[in-house]
Structure 1
Amino acid sequence: MRKSVQLTSVLVALSMGAFAQQFNGGVLNNATSKVYQPASIVGNYNLSVNAISVSGGLWNNGYTFTKDFLFSSVSNSKEASKGFFKNQKSVSKSASANLDIVGPSVSYNLGDAGYAGVYTRFREVVNLDRLNNGVFQSFNNLNSKFWNHTFSQQNLNISMHSFNEIGFNYGKEIYNENGHHLAAGITAKVLSGISAASVQVGSLNVNMSADTVNKLDGNFSVAYSDNAGSLTKAAVTTASQMLNFSGPKSVGADLGISYEYSGKRQKGYAVKASLAITDLGSITYKTSSNSKSFKVAAEK
């Protein structure tokens, strides 16, 4: 049995947001930025090299906090609560986290033929989708209006997957007239799934008081890749176990175009815009035989 995860997203340069991904600005070294926008491999250089770069992000609409809370060492819960807020709006809650490590990368100017490059990359993505607000508010909430009421959760999904890719880039300037510059790029990728896990809640009923669970029942399923056990042990055994990938290799692609208008400027640009379609492709993980479905029923 195999579980396939489709990885498809669209990047617009003036991005309004992205779920579980980060898109860094165009001022980065070409060897780094090309993983987000293939056309950015085109530039004014002969050789561009990146040793390693790391980026990450965490997003949720359930909790917010101030910078004072983040950088303080307040131990008093009443004081800490001044900078830490639980979202009371009656909308479903979601969260995502992402780790992105770009390893050794090289880009080279081929002259009139364009630009070519290669890079290595590791990514880990965690998502939580459609958590019912009532269920969310029932846990660890001092607001009594959420006590002693039964809230129902349907179709909650929590997923995690990590994978790596080796990318081969090619880009070229296709128009350069009167200060207008247009470049295009493409990346072909070899994808390898490292590990994956998911928890899917079909239904869940929750009823809580101030410090007691009055009722908790529902059904859910847990699935994870067949190498999850060896990856857990790898932290205390050998690094070679981390290369025990789950499932076969697959291929993917990124496409991008970039436009600049420099006007009368000798350096830089007055206007810049780009469009990229990234993560075209799929990764297949081999599911562990220990993946199962469960039912839970507990009542006070």
Structure 2
Amino acid sequence: MFAKFNFKTPCSKLALSMIFVMCHLALFAQSYIGHTMDNYAGVHAVAYNPANVFDTPFRSDINLVSASGYLGSDFIGLSFSEFLSSGGEFDFDSDAERFPSETNHFFTTIDALGPSFLINLGDQQSIALTTRVRGLFNLNNIDGNLYERISDGFDIGNDFEFDSKNLNATAHVFSEIGFTYGRELLRTQDQFLKGGITLKFLMGAGGLFASSPELSGNFNGVTNQLVTQGSLSYGSTPGFESDSPEFNELQGGFGADIGVVYEYRKRIMDGRIQGQRVQQYKFKMALSLTDIGSINYKNSENTLYDANGDVNALEFETKDLEEVLEDNYPGTTVTGDQKIALPTALQIMADYYIGSRFYVGLHTGLSMRGSGNSHTNNLVNTTTVAPRFESKWFSMYSPIGLRQYGDFAWGLGFRMGPLTVGSGSILTNLFSDNSKNADVYLGLKIPLYKNIEY
């Protein structure tokens, strides 16, 4: 999608490498949109709410490998059907539609769930152990006209002005090991409440970060001079290579998720198996706070540039952005500790049982990190409604959602025993002329079901 995202900075190099990986893992990636509402999601649902570890249909659920990919921008939109049928002849300059504004956003998330499992410990508590590797990139509040000129080149005779406020970019690659504990908190004839917490040990490979409270200016197409006002800081963690992140010199940190799930268990008459109801609840409501925490990187470098000045735009054709800054603007470099915060988010989920194994679920994810905050990644706010059919060995869901910066999204996914595959945007990507985001997922696990069927 971002073939022209050649901002020529280390941050953009990381974003490009993430996009490159996601495109090559497109058939092997997972974003869980729609799937996490499934009562048979098992260990995958723990990432959204640790309370989901308890009272599942499983004696144990073992994830072998899963991967997720999600990228997008409100700057560029394209027709995926034309892209796929172009035979490699798709021209992003002429065939992709652009939507420049004073506050454009780019985002990429890659999430690989490694060997993980959940297991019941009696009738009132359960535990899970999860391993993940995650790569996150956000570029927030950049003036689209400036981005387009730096990316594509400055046009002689084409004047323009720009004004970016709270501009920031953060790229972060890290892994985590999570231990989850969940248990029953309340049970009556019709009411059920459970809670859970995940404690995470974080291992950071490193990151890159840039920010500016305000960066404005103008370009004179006759003199080819770019005049700027403001300031810009740029930094990185020690030894971090954006093109090929390595996990050799890890920095430690801690994180946590916490959540509760309430169920209204009205008597369901769809059938009985061994004296138990096939469906346990009529209505379910879940609330969780995920990704609390940060990683502190010692001996990180951060350079603050005084961006009041001017530069010949031809320099952008032969130098990367960091070289342009160093050659034209005075800067002060400091070395010290730098925290990169996790993308803390509030997760809200509701699920209603229609009958005959049909459900309709609602999931809302709200970022607790604002797009103006530096040294942190932020998730894209989403609201998704997902009707689904659910059974022990097979589920199918079709999520319909609204996404911040990306408008409307409609997808399709299914679970067939150990295999889960789908996308929260595949249908809109196939039919829309200007898709602004894309995601796709796949997972493989070993489900060990209870004797009682839900």
TM-score in terms of structure 2 length: 0.51
Q: Name 1:149's counterpart in structure 2.
A: 160
Q: Name 1:253's counterpart in structure 2.
A: 256
Q: Is the 8 A contact 2:102 2:164 kept in 1?
A: no
Cα separation, 2, equivalents of 1:93 and 1:108: 44
Report how far residue 136 of structure 1 moved: 4.4
* Amino acid paired to 2:64: A
Report how far residue 91 of structure 1 moved: 5.1
Q: Name 2:64's counterpart in structure 1.
A: 51
Structure 1 257/298 Cα, relative in aligned 2: closer, same or farther at 3 Å? same
- How many residue pairs match? The answer is 263
* Amino acid paired to 1:67: F
Report how far residue 22 of structure 1 moved: 6.9
Structure 1 215/78 Cα, relative in aligned 2: closer, same or farther at 3 Å? closer
Mark the runs of 5 or more structure 1 residues left unpaired by the alignment.
1-20, 236-240
Q: Name 1:244's counterpart in structure 2.
A: 249
Deviations 1:72-113 (A, max 9, x none): 3262649962xx32125x451112111111111111111134
Q: Name 2:51's counterpart in structure 1.
A: 39
Cα separation, 2, equivalents of 1:200 and 1:262: 50
Q: What is the aligned-residue identity percentage?
A: 24
Report the more deviating stretch, 62-71 or 132-141: 132-141
Structure 1 197/185 Cα, relative in aligned 2: closer, same or farther at 3 Å? same
Cα separation, 2, equivalents of 1:78 and 1:44: 47
Q: Is the 8 A contact 1:203 1:220 kept in 2?
A: yes
Cα separation, 2, equivalents of 1:109 and 1:228: 40
Q: Is the 8 A contact 2:42 2:58 kept in 1?
A: no
Cα separation, 2, equivalents of 1:267 and 1:91: 53
* 1:85 counterpart (97, 106, 110): 97
Structure 1 157/170 Cα, relative in aligned 2: closer, same or farther at 3 Å? same
Q: Is the 8 A contact 2:124 2:184 kept in 1?
A: no
Q: Is the 8 A contact 1:22 1:56 kept in 2?
A: no
Structure 1 228/181 Cα, relative in aligned 2: closer, same or farther at 3 Å? same
Cα separation, 1, equivalents of 2:201 and 2:186: 30
* Amino acid paired to 1:252: G
Q: Name 1:284's counterpart in structure 2.
A: 296
After the TM superposition, which residues 25-174 of structure 1 pair with which residues of structure 2 at under 5 Å, given as runs? 25-27=36-38, 29-42=41-54, 43-73=56-86, 75=89, 77=91, 81=95, 84-87=96-99, 90=101, 92-136=103-147, 147-174=158-185
Q: Is the 8 A contact 2:234 2:304 kept in 1?
A: yes
Structure 1 22/130 Cα, relative in aligned 2: closer, same or farther at 3 Å? farther
SS in 1 for 2:52: helix
Structure 1 157/78 Cα, relative in aligned 2: closer, same or farther at 3 Å? closer
* Amino acid paired to 1:198: F
Structure 1 56/293 Cα, relative in aligned 2: closer, same or farther at 3 Å? same
Cα separation, 2, equivalents of 1:140 and 1:196: 22
* Amino acid paired to 2:259: G
Q: CA RMSD in A?
A: 3.2
Report how far residue 153 of structure 1 moved: 3.0
Cα separation, 1, equivalents of 2:150 and 2:234: 22
Cα separation, 2, equivalents of 1:34 and 1:106: 10
Q: Is the 8 A contact 1:223 1:287 kept in 2?
A: no
Cα separation, 2, equivalents of 1:51 and 1:29: 14
TM-score in terms of structure 1 length: 0.75
Structure 1 171/78 Cα, relative in aligned 2: closer, same or farther at 3 Å? closer
List 4+ stretches of structure 1 deviating above 4 A. Answer: 21-24, 76-80, 136-141
